[in-house]
Structure 1
């Protein structure tokens, strides 16, 4: 771990959360399309942006649930099951933007009092990895707690092991990169 002042760490937290929202917003118009379809839009990137800047109007449920994960962490001083579930249920009032069926149906079941172990879909979708950045940030200095929190965050809506693995890998990657100097780079062997 490198020595980092609070401002440097704060900037990385803010950058990670803003990057999540910006990446989500840039990706929304292409969600569900295959690579070959997306590539066709970008023969001339500048021309594409000039002609299509209005398609980047909103973020999706990925950013919404990231925000609710942040709120849960702030409320509990970490990840606590009941508070995280409460925040996910509050998301239903946002209203959800572009939510996947598995996630939406799971959280609706939670709002009707069904325990999360029975409410979660068996989806291996990437939604859990998309909302996990706050856990990678908050638990960056405790990998065991990070794994537990990422697993809980995932399993509440997506009980498939692939979804849980994706959430844990993304959270751990964020934690790893948080303490790296972007001017120095890093080795894949680290």
Structure 2
């Protein structure tokens, strides 16, 4: 069972990393025409903080079999690379944790004591959902625990819970196949919040084919908040579960926080064994770091 869980989570992590790394290429103006033409930029593609933090999530699951908050916060701080695109608040927090400060006080104190409502807790969590395939309740619970290490605002926590629940449902061979049912089940597992309301709107927009139109209603991460990011990402994933490629391009076309929306979508879709990223895309993506386990322990 542990080996199966690990393989599913690792597949999700690879999908997350490809989405993150390729999505990040479209922050470069020279690559905008490639995006419109659905043409791949030249590689290699380097991933960002989305993948680096997701690697810690998988590493902690591989060792503990669940989320250990202290171990997760320590891993985030130990492997923190300033140049990976972290936000200023998290950069400072992880530096202080590395120097011995208490992550609980730091995370709780962000933004005048409200905690961060950014999309960072959601962007890294799809592999955890895949780990708990078939048990979306436990996935959302563990995602809540994981979010608090850096993001303690209700919306950030709800965003992480929604992504993890979606990945757990997608990774389950017996899980919902219809996009509407998938999002209905996610809504039922997320506490009342702007994120939950956004996922409801995403469910109502599944008949819309144009990602730009949908993003105009749901948001696509331009504000880097969980409620401006997660509903659109779940719309894109739910509507394109059969094809990683189609899911990626639908997500990227909307613009916004492209590396993060594509990381979330990539991690959810790749949790479904049949929907791995194309091999050529994986080859162009920067390898995962050496400290990430390659097999279950």
TM-score, structure 1 normalization:
0.76
Show the counterpart of 1:186.
178
Mapping 1:145-184, distance limit 5 Å: 145-180=138-173
Question: Quick check: 139-148 or 104-113, which moved more?
Answer: 139-148
How many residues are aligned here? 174
Shift of 1:83: 1.3
Relative distance call for 1:145 and 1:62 in structure 2 (3 A) is same
Tell me the residue number matched to 1:107: 94
CA shift for structure 1 position 41: 4.9
Q: Which residue of 1 is the match for residue 42 of structure 2? A: 53
Label 1:43 to 1:30 Cα distance change in 2 as closer, same or farther (>3 A).
closer
Deviation per CA, 1:50-104: give whole Å up to 9, x if none. xx414x5300011111111111111212111221122112112x56511122322
Tell me: CA distance 1:15–1:30, structure 2 relative to 1, closer, same or farther (3 Å).
Answer: same
SS of the residue corresponding to residue 99 of structure 1 reads coil
Q: Secondary structure at the match of 1:158?
A: coil
Q: Which runs of 5+ in 1 are unaligned?
A: 1-5
Contact 2:9 2:130 in 1 (8 A): yes
Structure 1 residue 23 corresponds to structure 2 residue 19: yes
Task: Say which SS state the counterpart of residue 42 (structure 2) adopts.
Answer: helix
Q: Which residue of 2 aligns with 1:85?
A: 73
1:167 match: secondary structure: helix
Q: Deviations over 1:108-148 (max 9, x none)?
A: 23223332221113221111111102221223344443233
Shift of 1:107: 1.7
Give the superposed CA RMSD. Answer: 3.0
Bigger mean CA deviation after superposition, 96-105 or 167-176: 96-105
Match runs of 1:2-41 below 5 Å: 12-31=8-27, 41=34
Distance 2:177 2:64 in 1: 34
Alpha-carbon offset, residue 11 of structure 1: 6.0
Q: Which has the higher contact order (CA 8 A, sep 6+)?
A: 2
